[in-house]
Structure 1
Amino acid sequence: MSVLIVHESMFGNTRQIAEAIAEGMTKELTRDGTRPIAEPVLLVTVAEAPSEIPEDVDLLLVGGPTHAFSMSRANTREDAVRQGGLASADVGIREWIERVTPRDSLRVVTFDTRVHVRMLPGSAAKSAVSALKHKGFRRAERGESFWVGGTPGPLSHDEVVRARAWGAALAGQFVGPTPAN
């Protein structure tokens, strides 16, 4: 099994979540040491993401921060840069989804980071699912939202641990139960 994780991160919070998901998946995919997996999980920024998903990718994860109740836009990324965000304002998951070539049979799961405010609507993960399905990814589904304490962060307590566990659970769907000794 091969997994590609495409992520967008302005303040580093979504990147931390994507890295934790990758760690959990890698650990699960290689847990018995016998699987012939050279590089089971590839983590790339949205700027580095391919517009053609390689045929050997069995699962695509797409994640980004929630900006203005949805996926980021050029103006929300520019605003984040003005607030000290580190990433370029040029491309986000919205633009990447617009240019990527769909594979209708590929399973795609989205995730996002969001400010933890009671009753705050909107989610980049939810918006990304709609955009991916519209683009032609029939098997796109919404995954998890991970909470940040404010626009620049930090991540809320134990979100990295939860992301690692979620990654392992996703990978476990492909590898089955832990082998008995």
Structure 2
Amino acid sequence: MEAVVIYESMFGNTAEIARAVAGGLSEQLDVRTVEVSSRTPGDDVLGADLIVIGGPTHAFGMSRLASREEAAGRRPGNPTVERGIREWLDALADDTSGRFGATFDTRVKAVKHLPGSAARAADRVARRHGLSPADSPHSFYVEGMEGPLCPGEVERAREWGRELGRTALLARQSTS
């Protein structure tokens, strides 16, 4: 089985979580990690049985161009990312049936209980495109708007990757 972890990251926190999830998945599956801004949807998921999608939570959901511009402005010289997971999912063809999907986000710890989540929003869109849920959306926490990640989050992401790998293998075996 093959998995692909597709992510967007402004300050490196979501990228670090994506690599940790991929590390956990790699114990059982072949894994590719793809940063979404430079990719065209479709080619990067060809052959993948499990598609894991992650991004930062901006304004209670997936980022938009305006929220990415605002985030880029926090660090002088940081370029605006034109495409995030929202645009990637919108352009994804509806030929993903028979594949499993999982979503995650990074979000500020101080606002842990506020409504809205990039992972939950991405999960809804992924399901509309035919991905079968491999797990419920997951959130990983950062200390402030730009990070760093809270202690223990990288290992928690790696363990979630291990669990996703086991779940995907069991689900594939039960449908074979």
Shorter-chain TM-score tier: 0.7 to 0.9
Higher-helix-fraction structure: 2
- 2:156 matched residue in structure 1: 162
How far did residue 106 of structure 1 move?
A: 1.3
- TM-score where L is the length of structure 1: 0.83
* Aligned-residue CA RMSD (Å): 1.9
- 2:21 matched residue in structure 1: 21
CA 1:52 to 1:122, structure 2 compared with 1: closer, same or farther past 3 Å? same
1:137 and 2:136 aligned: no
- TM-score where L is the length of structure 2: 0.86
CA distance in 1 between partners of 2:73 and 2:46 (Å): 39
- 2:105 matched residue in structure 1: 112
CA distance in 2 between partners of 1:119 and 1:55 (Å): 36
Gaps of 5+ in 2: 171-176
Identical amino acids, percent of aligned pairs:
40
Q: Counterpart amino acid of 1:76?
A: S
How far did residue 164 of structure 1 move?
A: 0.6
- 2:55 matched residue in structure 1: 64
CA distance in 2 between partners of 1:92 and 1:57 (Å): 20
CA distance in 1 between partners of 2:142 and 2:46 (Å): 34
CA distance in 2 between partners of 1:96 and 1:162 (Å): 26
Alignment length (residue pairs): 165
User: 1:47 aligns to what SS in structure 2?
Assistant: helix
Residue pair 1:6, 1:49 contacting (<8 A) in 2 also: no
User: 2:136 aligns to what SS in structure 1?
Assistant: strand
Gaps of 5+ in 1: 31-39, 177-181
1:74 and 2:73 aligned: no
How far did residue 153 of structure 1 move?
A: 0.3
- 2:173 matched residue in structure 1: none
Q: What's the CA shift string for 1:38-64, capped at 9, x where partnerless?
A: xx1000011244422544211000000
Residue pair 1:51, 1:96 contacting (<8 A) in 2 also: yes
Q: What's the CA shift string for 1:64-108, capped at 9, x where partnerless?
A: 000000000000000000012846320110001111112122111
User: 2:164 aligns to what SS in structure 1?
Assistant: helix
Per mean C-alpha deviation after superposition, the further-off stretch among 65-74 and 111-120 is 111-120
1:47 and 2:37 aligned: yes
Residue pair 1:5, 1:18 contacting (<8 A) in 2 also: yes
CA distance in 2 between partners of 1:175 and 1:131 (Å): 23
How far did residue 133 of structure 1 move?
A: 2.5
